[in-house]
Amino acid sequence: MESADRSSSPDEGGTGLRHPKASIQVPGPLLRVAGDYAWRLIAVGVVVYFGVRLLSDLSLVVIPFVISLLVAALLSPLAIRMRRAGVGRAVATILTMLVAVVVLGGLLTLVILRAAQQAPQLGNEINNLLPHVKNWLINGPLKINAKTVDNLSSTLSTTISKNSATIASTALSTGKTVLSFVTGLLLVIFCTVFLVYDGDRVWEFLLKAVPRPVRAEAQAAGRAAWTTIGYYIRGTLMVATFHGVVVAITLTVLGVPLSFPLAVLVGLGAFVPLVGAIVTGVLAVAVAGLAKGLVAAIVITAVLLLDNQIEAHILQPFVIGRYVRVHPLAVVLSLASGAILFGIVGAVVAVPVVATANSAFRAALHYRDQTDPAPPSAHRPDESAA
């Protein structure tokens, strides 16, 4: 039996040593692990791809609902305080929505009225500035030929007249955009009302669909996510108010037209991290420069730079606090992805969505670490000591 076993073994020269090639596994361990990860990553990628496609196709519903979540996170504390004071759920919701409509409606009315009053002044100052710009182009450092400047002006006028059909089609598409905006606004109002009125009950209903072993983790993640949304929207609103007040005071002191509408735009830019403040700040600087000259543009630029430093070192750490922490790389990638998928609105909601998901994930992991029992080795006495 022993000789038969030896004769059947793949040895060389009867030495009993196994051939080196017989120990090689094909595919090797590294390729096996890579293959296991590869097909799982492919499966996850396919699910993510079609999920994103579905959200993009349903953007007219998804975006208003996300916005309504942000608005509800802002308004819910007021409704909760009313309920604790003895006000009924329905009455508290109605009063909360009325406060929101009055504040937002008053702000929009003020912006529109001030813009209508000061727009003619800005137009007159720009018309008065155009001859100075033309003179600077001809007699300034550039020394452009006067005939070239005149040809440029006539070319612009001809281009505008030739593209009248394009302008008309743009107006038509703008009309469709306005219709979509109105539809989305109505959906935001509808969802906000029910989230303020019945948001806690909706969350309890959704928790029932979560399996019992992970229901407590889902509850912890949901609470952390809602806390993050609330702190983000309230903190960003305070930062936006600070920006708007500073810019409004500066533009008013300088005598720049449309100071209040520009201040509102700069404040709204705070809701788009990194990019929003730059774009709206450049617009404010441009209007100040066109209306009041280079000195005014330099002054408003200096004020905006100081304002951004105050936000970065004081407002962001102390107002928004530790509840909203997102790495700058994640901010940039989320802004780019949101803008590509859903446009400007996607850029606005991208960062709070990422911050919320990050807080929920961290809360779930923290709850699991707190509730998981210690490994058995931690409870066993040291056998070597015995």
Q: DSSP assignment, residue 272? A: S
pLDDT of residue 119: 65
CA distances, 331 to each of 38, 190, 347, 358 (Å): 28, 30, 10, 12
Quote the pTM value. 0.69
pLDDT, average across residues 361-366: 86
Lowest mean pLDDT among 205-214, 296-305, 338-347: 338-347
Instruction: Give the model's pLDDT for residue 40.
Output: 92
Which of 146-155, 219-228, 306-315 has maximum average pLDDT?
Answer: 219-228
Burial class (CB in 10 A: 0-12, 13-18, 19+), 366: middle
Triad 321, 323, 327: Cα angle to 5°: 90
Handedness of CA 327, 221, 199, 89 (dihedral sign): negative
pLDDT for 270 equals 82
CB contact at 8 A, 150 and 135:
no
CA distance 350 to 335: 6
Whether the pLDDT of residue 326 is over 70: the answer is yes
Of the two residues 183 and 120, the one the predictor is more confident about is 183
Please name the residues in contact with 10: beta carbons below 8 A apart, sequence gap of 6 or more. Answer: 18, 19, 22
Structure confidence at residue 192 (pLDDT) = 92
Neighbours of 204 (CB within 10 A): 11
Quote the mean pLDDT of the chain: 78
Q: Are 244 and 267 in contact (CB under 8 A)?
A: yes
Q: Which residue has the higher pLDDT, 181 or 99?
A: 99
pLDDT, residue 322, reads 59
pLDDT of residue 43: 93
Section 270-279 average pLDDT: 80
**How far apart are alpha carbons 139 and 269 in whole angstroms?**
38
Axis-axis angle for helices 215-254, 275-292 (nearest 10) = 10
Q: Is 364:217 a contact under the CB 8 Å cutoff?
A: yes
Q: Please report where in the chains the tokens 């983000």 appear, as a residue.
A: 232
Identify any residues that bridge with 18 across adjacent strands, giving them in sequence order: 11
Q: How far apart are CA 142 and CA 301, in angstroms?
A: 25
DSSP string, 300-332: HHHHHHHHHHHIIIIIIIIIIGGG----HHHHH
Collect contacts of 126-132 with beta carbons under 8 A, ≥24 apart: 126/290, 126/291, 129/290, 129/291
pLDDT at residue 1, as a whole number: 47
pLDDT at 281 (0 to 100): 86
Q: Is the peptide bond before 27 cis (omega within 30 degrees of 0)?
A: yes
pLDDT digits (tens, 9 = 90+) for 137-196: 677 666 777 777 667 766 765 665 555 455 445 544 545 567 777 888 889 899 999 999
Query: How many residues in the chain?
Result: 386
pLDDT in tens, 48-67: 889 888 888 888 888 889 88
Residue 273's pLDDT band, with cuts at 50, 70 and 90, is confident
pLDDT at site 171: 46
Is residue 296 packed enough to be buried (19+ CB in 10 Å), middle (13-18) or exposed (0-12)? buried
pLDDT range class, residue 46, cuts 50, 70, 90: very high
Burial (Cβ within 10 Å: 0-12, 13-18, ≥19) of residue 337: middle
Q: What are the Cα distances from residue 48, in Å, to 44, 292, 326? A: 6, 52, 22
Whether residue 228 has pLDDT greater than 90? no
Determine the pLDDT at residue 124. Answer: 66
